[in-house]
Amino acid sequence: MTTDIDAVRAYLTGLQARIVSALAALDGKAFGEDAWSRDETGALRGRGAGAILEEGNIFERGGVNLSDVQGDRLPPTASAARPELAGRGFEAMGVSLVMHPRNPYCPTVHMNVRCFATTPDANGARHWWFGGGMDLTPYYGFEDDARHFHATCKNALDTIDVTLYPTFKAWCDRYFFLKHRNEPRGIGGVFFDDLADGGFDRCFAITRAVGDAFLAAYTPIIARRHALAYAARERDFQLYRRGRYVEFNLVFDRGTLFGLQSGGRTESILMSMPPLVRWRYNWQPEPGTPEAALYTDFLRPRDWV
């Protein structure tokens, strides 16, 4: 077993390229590229490559970010689970994506795979862990879509260990939950963090299984929903529900808070924000409507496979 951080870096670089290429082909509009690097003392150093799509044919806004950063001190969000490492130097790399389609029948998706490693100590030893997952946030639910998304995640993880999907699925349901709304963010998917059990090679393989499954999990859903006709009512509900996405990411999301706390690049972190969002006071859907069905049938933990 090795701790081959360079192999992780190479995998993530390739993963971003594959995903951007496939989503651009699906949309018909190329992503804009925005590479950045910085080397400031006292802050996060490193580089990133953002691929951003705005006002596409299918995607109203989205991005697939690759980041590869180093810091002198692990921030509190990263060392919370392992206080003995507080203040250690680290590197962190990951691919993170959020895609917000324009059509309200198309779900928003989030996927992230990442690796943390502390800088080697005097003996050359380093701590490392992986994290990642993907989750789906529909505005109008389709059971077929939810089953397909979850089944793709399950099949990918089952090739390594059949206990992974149930564990990561439940973890996702717990993580993507808006406490102040008593409401899940969407229909979930898989989520894992602080993964180090079983050695580097196994954890890296699990992370790859999730990253590699993303396109198969999401793009068929977009292909079959993006041309569905919709009207102002559906658009309005989508904008309203996007407010929940904002609330989750800014109030609860560990990655967002890590980025903002550690002096990360704000525009890259907030790439996850939806393009257009509405808030309305104390709004509730009428019982029996498709909007009410989202709450009753989809925004609750369910066994989808």
Which positions lie near a second copy, rule CB under 8 A?
32, 34, 50, 52, 54, 61, 63, 179-181, 239, 243, 246-247, 250-251, 260, 266-267, 269-271, 273-282
What's the rounded Cα separation, in Å, for the pair 141 and 298?
Answer: 6
Q: Which residues contact 61 (CB under 8 A, 6 or more apart)?
A: 53, 54, 55, 100, 273, 274, 275
The smaller minimum CB distance to a second copy, of residues 8 and 53, is found at: 53
Q: Which two tokens stand for residue 194?
A: 């602080």
The minimum distance between CB 138 and a second copy, in angstroms, equals 20
The minimum distance between CB 267 and a second copy, in angstroms, equals 5
Catalytic site residue 226? no
Residue 6's Cβ-count burial label (10 Å; 0-12, 13-18, 19+) is exposed
The minimum distance between CB 48 and a second copy, in angstroms, equals 12
Q: Which two tokens stand for residue 112?
A: 């992230």
Would you say 116 and 132 are in contact if contact means Cβ atoms under 8 Å apart? no
Catalytic residue among 110, 127, 148, 150: 110
The smaller minimum CB distance to a second copy, of residues 146 and 239, is found at: 239
Q: Which two tokens stand for residue 211?
A: 């990253």
The smaller minimum CB distance to a second copy, of residues 138 and 274, is found at: 274
Cα–Cα separations (whole angstroms), residue 251 to 131, 246, 260: 20, 8, 12
The smaller minimum CB distance to a second copy, of residues 54 and 193, is found at: 54
What are the φ and ψ backbone dihedral angles of 168, each rounded to 5 degrees? -75, -30
The minimum distance between CB 56 and a second copy, in angstroms, equals 12
The smaller minimum CB distance to a second copy, of residues 145 and 291, is found at: 291
The minimum distance between CB 52 and a second copy, in angstroms, equals 5
Measured at the alpha carbon of residue 295, what is the angle toward residues 243 and 152, in degrees to the nearest 5? 90
Residues forming the active site: 110
